[in-house]
Amino acid sequence: MTAQTVWIGTRKGAFALQSDEHRDRWALIGPEFLGHVIHHIIQDPRDPSSVLMAAKTGHLGPTVFRSKDGGKTWKEAAQPPAVRVATSNEKGRSVERVFWLTAGHVSQPRTWYAGTSPCGLFRSYDDGEHWEPVAGFNDHPAYTEWTGDGGTPDGPLLHSILVDPRDAAHLYVGLSGGGVFESLDNGASWTPLNEGCAADFLPDPDVPFGHDPHCVVLHPLKPDRLYQQNHCGIYRLDRPERRWTRIGNSMPRDVGDIGFPIVLHPTNPDVAWVHPMDGQSVWPRTSIDGKPAVYMTRDAGASWVRQDKGLPPSQAWMTVLRQAMCADACKRVGLYFGTTGGEVWASADEGESWRCIARNLPEIYSITCSRAFNA
């Protein structure tokens, strides 16, 4: 067993929880950048000394902070993600926030991707120091059609940037209010990949795009297997198929299959976890009936098991955002989720039991984890 670091991005700064080697005791570190809105923190799986953080404050423009010593010290990117200057007959966009970070392919050790609001895709070739727009997406002729006009009250998001481990040029992204899109040529061109996904909020439900994936994941050991937690259900896709299957139909009817995050087992592509939320009437987005639970599938979505041991049995109205749940890579997989109420919950036994390992944090936007880095 190895010590783990759980990185916590919050509305008011960045924190980290460091465990002992048994994941028994956790020490809270931080805050770093107190007062900054931290949307995502990713420790580079290719080089654990490198950590990137997507940040802004309430007033200032967005940026990315970088660490080269495992999070001890930070420096701002010299050139944060920024769209190009508009031509005279264009309505120019600007990045409102950097929302998502993904480390690039293992063959491209210094490459990173960033997703923004409004929807934008950016790439860095130097460990996040300088960022360039991916013109194939940002300037695509169908950009406005794909990304919609304004999106949700929180703004349209580009998230779930996925890199096929077999092919650095094979990418997927998720757009809130747009759907899943795929590129086979390093981002130069894109096609929608939304067949089979429901879009109950659209007048015409059978559209090629306009869907609302909340979180899309790809299994690292079986990259033809994707899952998504969508605004309208839980889905699985096995390439080269193009039609998603709604595996959320096998969730209990009184729970449904609405939620934000979906998390994969690091080595078993048939195992995934979701954190269902109430999506009825005005969409409270809280634990169903105030009884939080994680649901696990061991058979690629054919069936689901409720996991709530240790979670509050009632009057616990949790919201877990799309980036706020993750799994570690230990043999007995650990799971972690953070709530908008500022709690971090952990399981050291693949969800069979849970305990709260941090309280009283600010609103949590992001939970990611990695092996603890010792410089």
Partner 1 sequence: MPKVNVASPLRSYTHGAASVTASGSTIAEVLASLEQQFPGIRFRMIDEQNRIRQHIRLFVNANGVTDLSAPIADQDVLHLICALSGG
Could you say which of 20, 25, 34, 57 contacts partner 1 (CB under 8 A)? Answer: 57
Which among 73-81, 169-177, 239-247, 320-328 is the span making contact with partner 1, rule CB under 8 A? 73-81
DSSP state of 210: -
**Bridge partner residues of 274 (DSSP):** 262, 295
Nearer to partner 1 among residue 71 and residue 80 (C-beta):
80
Nearer to partner 1 among residue 134 and residue 333 (C-beta):
134
Contact predicate 31/12, CB 8 Å: yes
Q: Does 118 interact with partner 1 (rule: CB under 8 A)?
A: no
Which of 311, 322, 323 minimizes the C-alpha distance to 353? 311
What does the alpha-carbon distance between residue 141 and residue 315 come to, in Å, rounded to a whole number?
48
Q: Does 85 interact with partner 1 (rule: CB under 8 A)?
A: yes
Contact predicate 118/156, CB 8 Å: yes
Residue corresponding to tokens 């971090």: 344
Nearer to partner 1 among residue 151 and residue 276 (C-beta):
151
Which among 15-23, 74-82, 239-247, 255-263 is the span making contact with partner 1, rule CB under 8 A? 74-82
CB of 93 vs partner 1, minimal distance in Å: 8
CB of 139 vs partner 1, minimal distance in Å: 13
Could you say which of 45, 61, 150, 252 contacts partner 1 (CB under 8 A)? Answer: 61
DSSP state of 301: T
Which among 59-67, 208-216, 297-305, 349-357 is the span making contact with partner 1, rule CB under 8 A? 59-67
Q: Which helix (H) or strand (E) holds 135?
A: helix 135-138
The site for partner 1, by CB under 8 A, has a size of: 19
Tokens describing residue 198: 């429901």
Contact predicate 66/127, CB 8 Å: yes
CB of 121 vs partner 1, minimal distance in Å: 15
DSSP state of 143: H
Query: Applying CB under 8 A, which residues contact partner 1?
Result: 35, 57-61, 63, 76, 78, 80, 82-86, 92-95
